[in-house]
Amino acid sequence: MKLSTWFGCSSWLPQYNREWLASDLVAAVVVTIMLIPQSLAYALLAGLPAEVGLYASMAPLLAYAVFGSSRAMAVGPVAVASLMSAVAAGQFAQGDVALFYQASVVLALIGGAVLIVLGILRAGFVANLLSHPVVGGFVSASALLIAVGQLGSLVGVSAKGETFYQTVIALFNNFSSINATTAAIGVLALVWLWAARKWGKQVLKQIGLKGLALEIVFRAAPVVAIVLSIVAVSVLELNSVRTVGTIPTDLPQLFFPSMELNGWIDLFVPAVLIALVGFVETVSVGHALAAKRKQRIDPNQELLGLGAANIASGVFGGYSVTGGFSRSVVNFDAGAQTPMAGVFTAGGILLATLFLTPLLTNLPHATLAATIIIAVLGLIDWHLPGMLWRYSKRDFAAYLLTVVVVLLAGVEAGIIAGVVFSVLALLAAISKPHMAVVGQVPGTEHFRNEKRHKVSMVDGVVSVRVDESLYFPNARWLEDALLEVAASKPGTKALVLQCNAINHIDASALESLEKIDENLHAMGVTLYLSEVKGPVQDQLASSHWYKSIQSRIGLTHLETVRLAKQNE
């Protein structure tokens, strides 16, 4: 690894020019407007003071700019990671507020370190264990969990539960104590945001706005809700409405975790899950945006970039960050050319922290709850379950299991259940490959499945094709299957295994082939192999058994069948 490959910015910083500067500045303005309410809202969702969301929206953007590989990525707090962080820190701190904050920061630090290590080892493939149905189910169920969890804040009652069920029950039980003023603000904000998202662009176009101006005004809809609700609370002196309160205007400080080693160990697994889920979203966004400009991202470089961003977040007292989907798309559409746009966005957030936060004291929680609800409902892919049901029942089962476990037992249990199920289901599929007894298609040199084609068989010679690499999950199946075929066809003298679909034979399968050879021999049947691929044959050559089977391996299947017949 060359030094320059550690720094993603080496690919664009040397060519940085005035044209890019202008584009990046404009994009930064749009993203800053979008990011201010989001940082505050997601920090509350993560169970943290609002300013922590701002801290997580400065240093991480600088770190990503240095190490990341995607040009238009916008990192920062996102909904799902905030929920996961809240759950993990809550379970760890058991009600201790100071410890909760420590845990939230440590989650970012561990997650960042893990991502960097994976990046250095070029081991990003572990994120592949999060299959599409599992991620889809997880995000949809988490979004539902988040939306329901925010209903309490929206209408001014306390309704916190670790699971979906508990939250719904708490909501019902406390229904009578709704704060009407809060509810009015919350519902109005919700309707406004929903209408703005649905009709906003249309209306703005009719007014005559277009291009960048349209984009900025459209993205400012949450800002409008925030300003109006602050004004309402301040002017009407709505003291019963729960607000954000005083936000310190301090710059982010260096954070020194005072947690013992055992704490770090306890937080390891949730930190890894948060980091991997974030990585999957980041890479997915990165690929989509890069392709639009015929660029490429390097997933291992993304591990370094996102890892550095999380470390930077933690070092300055922020919490877990991710490359957000909608935010990055906005950044891209607004014209961001390089991660310098992120640097400028961080500057915008810094200015907001210094000068705007005093104005936010009267910002109602209900307004932020409305922005969260609208944001997360957009994350749910309503078509996915139907599509999975039609395409593959196994994938549908993985989706359903993940959704149900997330709702009943929480986010961590859900994602673990989904991954374990997917892996076991994959191993089960590999463990029972498709196998066919094949015969010669008359007049050709081709051998095809006897069940699908009219084929001719050679007396005493059975031909079998296996459509899967031979790995330990199917090694013993192979023993069962081949001995079964030989035993079911009396008079068999030779069995020829056509290996054209076998890309690997691992040590377990080698052992099984040896046993099959031996057991077939005991039954008076000789084993032959045909069409063994080059790399597979090279590996087989390093085994003892190869010496005894070598003379029974044929280049084409037809040749091998003829050889078997001759030797009978």
Nearer to a second copy, 153 or 422 (CB): 422
Of the candidates 41, 33, 38, 37, the one whose C-alpha atom is nearest the C-alpha of residue 365 is 41
Quickly tell me which residue has 């909608």 as its tokens: 326
Residues 6+ apart with CB under 8 A from 339: 8, 9, 12, 61, 64, 65, 68, 70, 71, 73
Scanning 316-453, the segments in alpha helix (DSSP H) are: 325-333, 340-351, 365-377, 384-391, 393-409, 411-431
CB of residue 444 vs a second copy: minimum separation in angstroms? 14
Does the footprint of a second copy cover residue 473 (CB under 8 A)? yes
Phi, psi of 503, deg, nearest 5: -90, -20
Q: Which two tokens stand for residue 456?
A: 């001719």
Count Cβ atoms below 10 Å from residue 390 Cβ, excluding itself. 9
Does the footprint of a second copy cover residue 433 (CB under 8 A)? yes
Tell me the C-alpha to C-alpha distance, in Å, between residue 162 and each of 76, 84, 217, 325, 539: 24, 11, 37, 26, 52
- For residues 65-84, which are near a second copy according to CB under 8 A? none
Report the first-to-last Cα separation within the chain, whole angstroms.
57
CB of residue 496 vs a second copy: minimum separation in angstroms? 18
Scanning 293-324, the segments in alpha helix (DSSP H) are: 299-315
* Element holding 28 (H helix, E strand): helix 18-45
Nearer to a second copy, 132 or 562 (CB): 132
Stretch that binds a second copy, among 87-95, 107-115, 247-255, 423-431 (CB under 8 A): 423-431
Q: What is the distance between the alpha carbons of residues 431 and 328, in angstroms, rounded to a whole number?
A: 41
Helix axes 164-173, 393-409, angle to 10 degrees: 40
Does the footprint of a second copy cover residue 328 (CB under 8 A)? no
Nearer to a second copy, 378 or 524 (CB): 524
Residues 355-394, one symbol each (x = binds a second copy by CB under 8 A, - = not), give: --------------------------------xx-xxx-x
Binder among 4, 96, 97, 128 for a second copy (CB under 8 A): 128
- For residues 228-267, which are near a second copy according to CB under 8 A? none
Binder among 24, 51, 281, 468 for a second copy (CB under 8 A): 468
Does the footprint of a second copy cover residue 444 (CB under 8 A)? no
Q: What is the distance between the alpha carbons of residues 294 and 291, in angstroms, rounded to a whole number?
A: 5
Residues 132-161, one symbol each (x = binds a second copy by CB under 8 A, - = not), give: xx----------------------------
Does the footprint of a second copy cover residue 5 (CB under 8 A)? no
Nearer to a second copy, 127 or 171 (CB): 127
Contact 50, 36 (CB under 8 A): no
Q: For the chain, what's the residue count?
A: 568
- For residues 9-38, which are near a second copy according to CB under 8 A? none
Does the footprint of a second copy cover residue 442 (CB under 8 A)? no
Contact 73, 60 (CB under 8 A): no
Does the footprint of a second copy cover residue 476 (CB under 8 A)? yes
Q: What is the distance between the alpha carbons of residues 45 and 37, in angstroms, rounded to a whole number?
A: 12
Does the footprint of a second copy cover residue 450 (CB under 8 A)? no
- For residues 38-57, which are near a second copy according to CB under 8 A? none
Binder among 125, 165, 172, 355 for a second copy (CB under 8 A): 125
- Torsion angle (degrees, nearest 10) of CA 517, 519, 522, 524: -60
- For residues 282-311, which are near a second copy according to CB under 8 A? 283-284, 287-288, 290-292, 294-296, 299
Binder among 535, 555, 559, 567 for a second copy (CB under 8 A): 535
- For residues 392-421, which are near a second copy according to CB under 8 A? 392, 394-395
38-72 burial, b at 16+ Cβ within 10 Å, e below that, comes to bbbbbbbbbbbbbbbbbbbbbbbbbbbbbbbbbbb
Does the footprint of a second copy cover residue 474 (CB under 8 A)? yes
Nearer to a second copy, 250 or 568 (CB): 568
Q: Which two tokens stand for residue 69?
A: 């590989």
Nearer to a second copy, 220 or 415 (CB): 415
Please give the single-letter amino acid code of residue 386. G
Does the footprint of a second copy cover residue 543 (CB under 8 A)? yes
Nearer to a second copy, 192 or 477 (CB): 477
Nearer to a second copy, 265 or 354 (CB): 265
CB of residue 271 vs a second copy: minimum separation in angstroms? 19
Does the footprint of a second copy cover residue 423 (CB under 8 A)? yes
Binder among 1, 3, 254, 522 for a second copy (CB under 8 A): 522
Does the footprint of a second copy cover residue 175 (CB under 8 A)? no
DSSP strand pairing (494-498 vs 461-466): parallel
Nearer to a second copy, 360 or 516 (CB): 516
CB of residue 473 vs a second copy: minimum separation in angstroms? 5
Does the footprint of a second copy cover residue 547 (CB under 8 A)? no
Phi, psi of 361, deg, nearest 5: -50, -40
CB of residue 295 vs a second copy: minimum separation in angstroms? 8
Nearer to a second copy, 97 or 428 (CB): 428
Does the footprint of a second copy cover residue 333 (CB under 8 A)? no
Quickly tell me which residue has 């209306």 as its tokens: 203
Number of residues that bind a second copy (CB under 8 A): 71
Nearer to a second copy, 192 or 396 (CB): 396
Does the footprint of a second copy cover residue 519 (CB under 8 A)? yes
Binder among 231, 354, 428, 555 for a second copy (CB under 8 A): 428
Does the footprint of a second copy cover residue 503 (CB under 8 A)? yes
Does the footprint of a second copy cover residue 434 (CB under 8 A)? yes
State CA 182 to chain mean position distance: 35
3-state percent breakdown (helix, strand, coil) of the chain, nearest 5: 70, 5, 25
Nearer to a second copy, 102 or 492 (CB): 492
- Torsion angle (degrees, nearest 10) of CA 137, 139, 141, 144: -150
